[in-house]
Structure 1
Amino acid sequence: MLSHHELATLMLFRDTERRIEPLDPDVLALRRYALVEVRQRQADETTLQLTRQGRELLARLQMGGKA
């Protein structure tokens, strides 16, 4: 089960262009749950991306919030 901090961090991937620190404890947890992955863009640049599972979880959370 994700903590509220982990859920908030997951939502940041969807809602912002802000750089998220890859060694943040919440990001590490999301990586462990396979919701986020690290991508190597160039030799010295890595980015974090939502995985398919991460995108699906966010979609399910959005559906649950609509009345």
Structure 2
Amino acid sequence: MLSPHELATLMLLNSSERRIESLDPDVLALRHYELVEVRELRGGSASLQLSARGRDLLKRLGMNGAARGA
């Protein structure tokens, strides 16, 4: 079960271009649940993105209207 903070972080990742720290405890939990992935970008930088599982969870919760990459 996700905490309110983890769910809010998942929603932020879905709807915002705002940078969220990959070592944030909530992000680490979402990565553990395989709801978020770290994608390597050109130049060696990395970006957080929702995984297919994370997008599916938000869709089931009715929160997929602003989904990135969907």
TM category (shorter chain) comes to 0.7 to 0.9
Cα distance in 2 for residues equivalent to 1:56 and 1:28: 19
Higher normalized contact order (CA 8 Å, seq sep 6+, divided by chain length): 2
Residue 5 in structure 1 maps to residue 1 in structure 2: no
Q: Name the structure with the higher strand share.
A: 1
AA matched with 2:60: R
Match of 2:42 in 1: 42
Identity of aligned residues (%): 65
TM-score, normalisation: structure 1: 0.88
| Counterparts of residues 1-67 of structure 1 (less than 5 Å) | 1-62=1-62
> Mind listing any 5+ residue stretches in structure 1 that lack a counterpart?
none
Aligned length: 63
